[in-house]
Amino acid sequence: MSNDATGGTGRTPRTPRTAAPTAPLGSTVAIVVTAAAVILGFLILRKVNDDSSSTSTPVVATTTTIAGAVTTLSADTTTTLAVDKTGTKIQVANASNAPGTARQMSIALTDIGWVTAEPTNATLETKLEVSKVIFNAQVDGAREIAKLLAAELGGIKVSKSANPPVDTGGYLDGSAVILLLGNDLAGKTIAQIQGQTVTGVTTPATTLPGVVTP
């Protein structure tokens, strides 16, 4: 039998080695680019998260309204309550040594918005050196009106009186405030009382002999 397959030597022929497949260059570049993209994306996402966490969240102020709550005003808050001068008539009672000054004062008060009752005389045994305002505490709003009148007359004293010392025997209908006109304000104009500059001449009231004029 022939030994041609073995080359006549009797040895088994070696199988030729197959070279390991080499990855194409293009695949390697694609892998590198993909890895770089993943890393870059991770870094960008991390920076966005860091920026979001470092940004301060705006605080939204909320106001809650509670029914029946008490509102407290600060010390520098000034509340002005309107007082109606026409809420009651003002009666002027002359308690000074100068006759005729109650009527004069009534006219002056009317000129600045007050509603006045018929003037009268006080029944005090001693004339008043300092005027004062009295009011009927049983009438709503009389206290506030009395205080406003007193303030406009230079801040004179205010007090309540159930039995006013006047010739009319008490408060007239529609009147709950009486100005007891003393020597300090008798014969003066409102401008003089309030310390304003006065021009011109004030004509004193005329008194008839034997007649006491309020």
Pairing of strands 175-181, 132-135: antiparallel
Calpha distance 9→52 (Å, rounded):
81
**Per residue in 175-188, pLDDT tens?**
999 999 999 999 99
**Per residue in 93-121, pLDDT tens?**
999 999 999 999 999 999 999 999 999 99
Closest by alpha carbon to 134, among 71, 88, 66? 88
Q: Which of 54-58, 104-108, 203-207 has the lowest mean pLDDT?
A: 203-207
Question: Cα Rg for the chain, rounded, in angstroms?
Answer: 53
Closest by alpha carbon to 128, among 178, 168, 169, 184? 184
- Give the H/E segment covering residue 109: helix 101-111
The answer to whether 202 touches 108, Cβ cutoff 8 Å, is no
Q: Which fold has domain 85-193?
A: Alpha-Beta Plaits (3.30.70)
Between 142 and 72, the more confident residue is 142
In Å, how far are 35, 62, 182 from 149, measured between CA atoms? 93, 45, 15
